[in-house]
Amino acid sequence: MTFAGEIADHYARYRRGFGPAALAFVRERLRAGPDALVVDLGCGTGQLAVPLSAHVRHVLGVDPEPDMLRHAYAAAGRAGATGATSWMLGSDADVPGLAGLLGRSAVQAVTISNAVHFMDTGRLFAGLTDVLAPGGRVAVIANGTPVWLQDPAWSRALRRFLGERYGTDASGSRCTDAAVLARCREDMAAAGLATEQHRLDLRAAVTPEWLAGNLVSAMPPEWLPADMREFADAVATAVRSAQPAGGLVEDVPVTVLAGVRA
Ligand X SMILES: C[S@@+](CC[C@H](N)C(=O)[O-])C[C@H]1O[C@@H](n2cnc3c(N)ncnc32)[C@H](O)[C@@H]1O
* CB neighbourhood size of 250 (10 A): 20
Phi, psi of 31 (to 5 degrees): 55, 35
117 versus 238: smaller Cβ distance to ligand X: 117
Q: In the range 7-26, which residues lie near ligand X by CB under 6 A?
A: 15
CA distance 171 to 169: 6
Least Å distance between CB 230 and ligand X?
25
Taking CB under 6 A as the binding criterion, the range among 26-34, 58-66, 190-198, 243-251 that sits at the site for ligand X is: 58-66
Alpha-carbon dihedral of residues 123, 27, 199, 45, nearest 10 degrees? -60
CA atoms of 235 and 157, how far apart (whole Å): 9
**Interface with ligand X, residue 113, by CB under 6 A:** yes
- Among the candidate windows 112-120, 182-190, 236-244, 249-257, which touches ligand X by CB under 6 A? 112-120
Q: Is 43 in the site for ligand X (CB under 6 A)?
A: yes
Of the chain, the end-to-end C-alpha distance in Å amounts to 35
| Smaller CB separation from ligand X, 3 or 154 | 3
Distance of CA 145 to the CA centre of its chain: 10
Choose which of 22, 38, 119, 128 interacts with ligand X (CB under 6 A): 119
SS3 256: strand
Among the listed residues 105, 118, 149, 177, the single contact to ligand X using CB under 6 A: 118
47 binds ligand X (CB under 6 A): yes
Give 43 or 232: the residue with its C-beta nearer to ligand X. 43
Q: Which of 12, 48, 180, 211 binds ligand X (CB under 6 A)?
A: 48
Q: What is the DSSP code (8-state) at residue 25?
A: H
Pairwise CA distance, residues 209 & 232, whole Å = 6
- Supply the minimum distance, in Å, between the C-beta of residue 8 and ligand X: 8
Rounded least distance, CB 85 to ligand X, Å? 13
- Region binding ligand X by CB under 6 A among candidate stretches 108-116, 131-139, 190-198, 242-250: 108-116
The number of beta carbons lying within 10 Å of the beta carbon of residue 88 is 16
64 binds ligand X (CB under 6 A): yes
Q: How far is CA 114 from CA 118, 156, 262, in A?
A: 9, 22, 25
Stretch that binds ligand X, among 75-83, 107-115, 222-230, 252-260 (CB under 6 A): 107-115
Q: Which of these, 61, 102, 110, lies nearest to 81 by C-alpha position? A: 61
Tell whether residue 36 is a contact of ligand X (CB under 6 A): no
* Of residues 130-159, those binding ligand X (CB under 6 A): 143
Is residue 41 part of the contact set for ligand X (CB under 6 A)? yes
Say how far apart CA 221 and CA 232 lie, in whole Å.
17
Rounded distance between C-alpha atoms, residue 261 and residue 54, angstroms: 24
Q: Which residues bind ligand X (CB under 6 A)?
A: 3, 15, 41-44, 47-48, 63-65, 68, 91-92, 113-115, 118-119, 143
